[in-house]
Amino acid sequence: MKVLILCTGNSCRSQMAHGFLQSFSSNIDVFSAGTKPAEKVNPKAVEVMKEAGIDISDHTPHNVSEYINEPWDYVITVCGGANESCPVFVGNVEHRLHIGFDDPSDAIGSDEFVMTEFRRVRDEIKNKFEQFYNDNLK
């Protein structure tokens, strides 16, 4: 089973989803990418995933163009806000899904509030991807 998770920057939501989905089974090949990849994974995403027992500190953002010629069982977009356009993937894909989430890196306020937003989105990603895994891949 081969799954590609797409977002714009590939620095936060797609990386967290990648980490969770990979943790559910070693029989799934999980990749993530963005249409405009950031330079690095958001450190707050790394921190809140570590709190959940998953280490994504070695993940790096990738450009979706790296994967366009590969076949995929699932391509899942995770961007959610109305102000953000989700990438369109035109490759060889068996199933396309959208599971949208708020972007915690857009949170403004105290450090405590921002971390609360990262944890909230992390938990939503875990729950929705666990449901996706149980419904489609198990």
Domains in the chain: boundaries: 2-137
Average pLDDT, integer, range 123-135: 97
The reported pLDDT for the residue numbered 87 is: 58
Catalytic member of 3, 6, 7, 56: 7
The reported pLDDT for the residue numbered 69 is: 87
Residue with tokens 């990749």: 31
79 is catalytic: yes
86 is catalytic: yes
Q: CB of 30 within 8 A of CB of 5?
A: yes
Catalytic member of 5, 41, 79, 125: 79
How far apart are alpha carbons 104 and 131 in whole angstroms? 21
Catalytic member of 86, 93, 97, 137: 86
The reported pLDDT for the residue numbered 138 is: 83
Report whether pLDDT(42) > 50: yes
Q: Helices 13-24 & 111-132, crossing angle to 10 degrees?
A: 40
Full-model pTM: 0.92
The reported pLDDT for the residue numbered 124 is: 98
In CATH terms, the fold of domain 2-137 is Rossmann fold (3.40.50)
Report whether pLDDT(22) > 90: yes
Average pLDDT, integer, range 97-126: 95
